[in-house]
Amino acid sequence: MKRVVLFMMLLTSASLLSATTNQEIKQEAKGALMKMGSALKANMKKNMKAGGPVQAASFCLEEASKIAKKVNASYPKGVNVKRVSLKYRNPADKPTSDEAKVLIQMQKDVDAGKTIPKMIVKEIGKNSYKVYKPIFINKGICLTCHGDAQTRDHEAYKLIHAKYPNDRAINYKKGDFRGAFVITIVK
């Protein structure tokens, strides 16, 4: 009986540790994501205001990846943020096989009318995690570059298509699942 009680105590403490670790990982991911999101969003808004969709598209094509690299370099060692999608525009945003599995499951859940958690933590190795933050097309402005032929800005899309002739990141509607931010954390 003592062994059973001891085993149950160990099992319970391991579960609590796991829940605590999960929350810590989510908090760290949230901080990294906020920094990345703020940098990209501020620059996108600035360019959209200054020159409309064409300047915003030009910014995305030429500068967004540089800003992402700079922001990633500012994180503590072992933290990295990227965007991935099954319908990617930039081949650098193509998901790895493990990321694709998570994205496919997210899309299935959306299609089934299920609510996707705000963050999903996957342990990928000892003290290594990937945190997925779903991205949805929540604002009409996103459709300027990601919508269908009627909603896209034609001049902006000419720039995009010239750089990414195999672009898959189009024909979205408001509310569609777009992909995810993936925050990798190695402790």
pLDDT digits (tens, 9 = 90+) for 69-128: 999 999 999 999 999 999 999 999 999 999 999 999 999 999 999 999 999 999 999 999
The whole-model pTM stands at 0.86
Residue 147 sits at φ, ψ, to 5 deg, of: -85, -165
Per residue in 66-91, is it b (16+ CB within 10 Å) or e — as a string? ebbeebbeebeeebbbbbbbbbbbbe
Query: pLDDT, tens digit, for every residue of 139-166?
Result: 889 999 999 999 999 999 999 999 999 9
Q: Containing H/E element for 130?
A: strand 128-136
Residue 113 sits at φ, ψ, to 5 deg, of: 80, 15
